[in-house]
Chains A and B, each alone.
Chain A
Amino acid sequence: MDFTFTPEQDALREQARDFLTANSEPAWAELAELGWTGVSVAEEDGGAGLGFVEEAVIFEELGRALTKGPYLSTVAAVLPILPSELQAEVAAGEASWTLALGPLVPDLDTAQRIAVVGGDGIFELEGAEREILQTTDETRPLGVVRGGAPGRRLADSTALDEIRPRLLAALAIEACGVARRALEYAIEYAASREQFGRRIGVYQAVSHPLADAYTQLELARSLALWAAWCVAEQDELAPVAAAAAKASAAEAAVQVCETSIQVHGGIGFTWEHVLHRLYKRALWIESFAASGTSLRAEVAAYVLEGKKAPGPAPEPVLTQGG
């Protein structure tokens, strides 16, 4: 058992952090240049032939830096179901994708192509009109598509069983990146801001919620990394692990951001401070794909009835004798 990153994975994180600190809206071609769009694409298709754990490293850093763009939509939601020649295009930076699962579709402003589920297949949607909607999180817009027709068939719709844990695990680890940044801001502030003649971090009404924020984040991150590993290894527990991780990490990110805003006082409530952007991304993640409540219903079905993959919610067992 080894639950640490390899030196290569650590180096990738460092590269990602440095690059994203300097580039908040990187072009898709730049990400391809760095090798990030082809991390899990086979080497013969121009990728690096690595896996989801490496992608998770990038998702976490994208969350931390609040990067705008279709990386999550392309890599988490579409890439593995594409035929290999289309994967090669992604690796080369020639194509980016988003998946229209529900009526609200992320990253329609930046993703070049749209995948859509219809009947027993997943198709490329062609000739559709896109409308970008205003969203609280300006860094990850949602939109709607109208018209158009299914073009090339990409995969059977059963591929969604593979996509769902990937997407949930990606959202979970991205949420951890968001939370980490919000916590760092709060710690810096609590260690320097003075009131009543002392640094505010000495007051337990400030420091204990921060200790709790750290605790919640580390617990969520452990789940997110577990889920990422399960996805990478196609472990049979991947759906349960990803559901647990997304429910826990989204909630943690929201909570940590709220604590951070409170610790900052008035400045935390301003448009100028970056905190509200982290907070809005956390809220976005919490509401996207599946709510915490519905994910926990899946977990309960596993724990109590042994169901490993999500399906229709089981009939609640009636309480006997109270």
Chain B
Amino acid sequence: MDLRDTAEEAAFRAELRAWLEENLPGDIQGHRGGAARFEGEAMRAWSRALYDAGYAGLTWPKEYGGGGAPYTHQAILLEEMARAEAPPHVGVIGIGMAGPTIMAHGTEEHKARHLAPILSAEEIWCQGFSEPGAGSDLAGVRTSARLEDGHFVVDGQKVWSSFAHIADFCILLTRSDPESTRHAGLTYLIVDMKAPGVEVRPLTQITGEAEFNEIFFNAVEVPVENLLGEVGGGWQVAMTTLLHERGTLGFALQAALEVQVRKLATLARDRGADPIQRDKIAREWIEMQAVRYTNYRSLSQLMKTGLPGPEGSISKLVWSEANQRVTKLALELLGPDAPLWDGNAPYGGYWQYQQLRSRGNTIEAGTSEVLRNIVAERVLGLPKSR
């Protein structure tokens, strides 16, 4: 056990810190995120800068444009970005889900074609899993893909698809065998969002902005080469995606929470906090440290044995609820200014936006109820509830 950086980790951290100091544009520091990150070019340019410096896809193989670095470097990167309040790369779905899924199940052609543009932020991805009838119960997917003359014909509807309105590609879970039910007969496709028959309708969220969308597929032709995994083997591929959605996010989530707690402390210093509020702030700082060291434990296990420790599975669950409490506490500290919005609110409305956005955290990427089922069944070994 040694929680210090190794010499090599310390060198990486120092170099990175210097780079951030030099290259992070002041006007995007502490950016609130959300749909606004796609307004203008600043955030894409920042993502591109991360890529050019080798920090995007740090753990991905070098041959696909990544950094070929160990996971510990990724943890350091996210920690330092949090410290500098540097916004994350805009390619959330590409880097977090599509890329790792393509690396695990894709052909050489897929990897050569798609991975580098994800990292350089030239191409944005969206995830088409959820449907009106299939949310937590993803095996209820009904969007169909018929194999016909060397291509798939896709018909159906997806919903809650983040960034679909600006996406170039979609990772799409379809049902290729109309006779099948549940986990069998599913097929996982890469779909060009510019293809004829794809229609995107933005859905306005609780924050008033439209970050997620409905996608309608009307006889969309998808080349067979765009198949990931086997026809009928889509469930296994989708599980890889979900694993990454909830798993590798651990350090990114902790970094995001660290930024929030840091800003919360600034807010408390600016506006004052009574002893009860100080107690709540201390609780959130403690929880944030606990998430950090839990991730460290899980990561150390991964480095040593190749398998992450089971405690890593609680990261998303804990982060989402912590983020909701932290942002609510910020509104409490804002007192009578809490109802103000956007430009009329202190700090440009950062906290009002964050608090509302945080309500999605316990729904997206697996609801907290589903994640508790997973902990109970897979980690504690309790009998299945279904």
Contact = CB atoms under 8 A, between A and B. Distances in A.
A190 B381 CA distance: 10
B1 A4 contact: yes
A212 B372 CA distance: 8
B290 A222 contact: yes
A214 B375 contact: yes
B376 A304 contact: no
B285 A299 contact: yes
Contacts of B4: 1
A53 B376 CA distance: 30
Given A316-B274, A319-B271, A219 B314 contact: yes
A248 B293 contact: no
Given A204-B385, A319-B271, A304 B290 contact: no
Contacts of A219: 287, 290-291, 294, 314, 318
Interface string B322-349: 0000000000000111000000000000
A152 interface: no
A246 to B, nearest CB: 10
Given A223-B289, A226-B3, A297-B282, A214 B379 contact: yes
Contact of B272 (A212, A225, A320): A320
A223 B293 contact: yes
A223 B286 contact: yes
B291 A187 contact: no
A198 B385 CA distance: 10
Contacts of A215: 314, 317-318, 375
A307 interface: no
Interface in A1-59: 1-6, 9, 53
A208 B299 CA distance: 25
Interface residues of A, number: 50
B373 interface: yes
A203 B385 CA distance: 7
Interface string A275-304: 000000000000000000100110110011
Most buried by A among B286, B301, B303, B375: B286
Nearest to A295: B282
B294 A218 contact: yes
A204 B382 CA distance: 10
Interface string A155-197: 0000000000000000000000000000000010011000000
B293 A222 contact: yes
Contacts, number: 173
B372 A211 contact: yes
B226 interface: no
Contact of B275 (A2, A187, A198, A316): A316
B275 A297 contact: yes
A199 interface: yes
A244 B318 CA distance: 17
A210 interface: yes
B318 A3 contact: no
Contact of A319 (B272, B317, B375, B384): B272
Given A3-B1, A219-B314, A211 B380 contact: yes
A321 interface: yes
Interface in B266-318: 268-269, 271-275, 278-279, 281-283, 285-287, 289-294, 296-297, 299-301, 303-304, 311, 314, 317-318
A316 B283 CA distance: 17
Interface of B: 1-6, 9, 72, 75, 261, 265, 268-269, 271-275, 278-279, 281-283, 285-287, 289-294, 296-297, 299-301, 303-304, 311, 314, 317-318, 335-337, 369, 372-373, 375-377, 379-385
Given A5-B1, A210-B380, A222-B297, 8 more contacts: A3-B293, A211-B372, A212-B372, A215-B318, A219-B287, A297-B278, A321-B337, A322-B337
17 contacts: A1-B4, A2-B304, A53-B1, A208-B369, A211-B375, A214-B375, A218-B311, A219-B318, A220-B290, A222-B290, A229-B2, A247-B286, A299-B285, A317-B273, A318-B272, A321-B335, A322-B335
Task: Give 5 nearest A-B pairs by CB, closest first.
Answer: A322-B335, A222-B293, A201-B382, A296-B282, A207-B376
Interface of A: 1-6, 9, 53, 187, 190-191, 198-199, 201-204, 207-208, 210-212, 214-215, 218-220, 222-223, 225-226, 229, 241, 244, 247-248, 293, 296-297, 299-300, 303-304, 316-322
